[in-house]
Amino acid sequence: MIIKSLKVPEINLQLEALLRRTPEQHPAREKMTSDYKMRSAGFKGEERLFYYLSFLDPKKYWIFHNLRLSSGTHFFRSMHC
């Protein structure tokens, strides 16, 4: 059962809007483009993983997208738990 659904991260939408409004020759454009591509690739990977998660029994597994877990000293980002 999907408890917390997958949605496009807010930062992806913000970077997309920023890139549309930033001139090609702006000094920070290359960094923004690189960051946007990296974040978009991560999101697309999560979307592709969704296919495999669909094989899990929804009565046995709960799926939480974009969840940040703490071990007490470290944090872990998890797409499902």
Q: What are the DSSP calls for the chain, one per residue?
A: -EEE-----HHHHHHHHHHHHS-TT-TTHHHHHHHHHHHHHHHHHHHHHHHHHTTS-TTT--EESSEEEE-SS-EEEES--
Q: How confident is the model at residue 3 (pLDDT cuts 50, 70, 90)?
A: low
Q: Which residue has the higher pLDDT, 34 or 60?
A: 34
Whole-number average pLDDT of the chain: 85
Closest CA to 65 of 20, 6, 21, 14: 6
7-38 tens-digit pLDDT: 888 999 999 999 999 999 999 999 999 999 99
Q: What is the pLDDT of residue 34?
A: 97
Torsion-angle region of 66 (φ positive above 0: left; ψ -120 to 50: alpha; else: beta): left
Amino acid present at 24: E
